[in-house]
């Protein structure tokens, strides 16, 4: 009797890079909301900030994904030692994107609070 479940299913675990990518997506949203609240921005600031920060987070993740994918594909022909070094460099690059998301969220909030009515 033939087994109906395919035997060659491929499972992928969530890794540290995936978690850092999620954090990089959330950081602009979190930073903007916290800074608008701290600066006393009105409801209009929140209404404008939410779609902008979601788009900003998506852009950060997309750019990070494309650059990381290009670097990883270029390292395929090299030794395992080089691949490990590239993986570590991509991990460090993720931390850079988290910082970029945090800084851009704070800058966006400052802009919104200064230019929108309270």
List of long-range contacts for 82-90, beta carbons under 8 Å, 24+ apart: 90/17
d(CA 30, CA 13): 26
Q: Which residue has the higher pLDDT, 8 or 58?
A: 58
Total number of domains in the chain: 1
Q: Which residue has the higher pLDDT, 9 or 25?
A: 25
In a domain, 36, yes or no: yes
In a domain, 2, yes or no: no
Residue 77 in contact with residue 66, Cβ under 8 Å?
no
In a domain, 3, yes or no: no
Provide the domain limits for residue 37: 16-115
Q: If we measure between CA atoms, which residue out of 117, 100, 114 comes closest to residue 53?
A: 100
In a domain, 10, yes or no: no
In a domain, 74, yes or no: yes
pLDDT digits (tens, 9 = 90+) for 65-99: 999 999 989 988 889 899 899 989 998 999 999 99
Q: Is the pTM of this model over 0.85?
A: no
In a domain, 11, yes or no: no
In a domain, 6, yes or no: no
In a domain, 91, yes or no: yes
């Amino acid at each position: 009797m033939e087994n109906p479940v395919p035997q060659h299913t491929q499972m992928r675990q969530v890794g540290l890079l995936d978690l850092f990518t999620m954090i990089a997506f959330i950081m602009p949203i979190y930073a903007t909301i916290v800074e608008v609240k701290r600066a006393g921005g009105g409801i209009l600031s929140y209404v404008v900030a939410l779609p902008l920060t979601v788009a900003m987070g998506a852009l950060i993740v997309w750019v990070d994904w494309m650059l990381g994918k290009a670097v990883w594909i270029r390292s395929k022909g090299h030794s395992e030692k080089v691949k490990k070094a590239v993986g570590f460099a991509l991990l460090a690059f993720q931390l850079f994107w988290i910082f970029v998301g945090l800084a851009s969220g704070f800058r966006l909030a400052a802009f919104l609070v200064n230019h929108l009515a309270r």
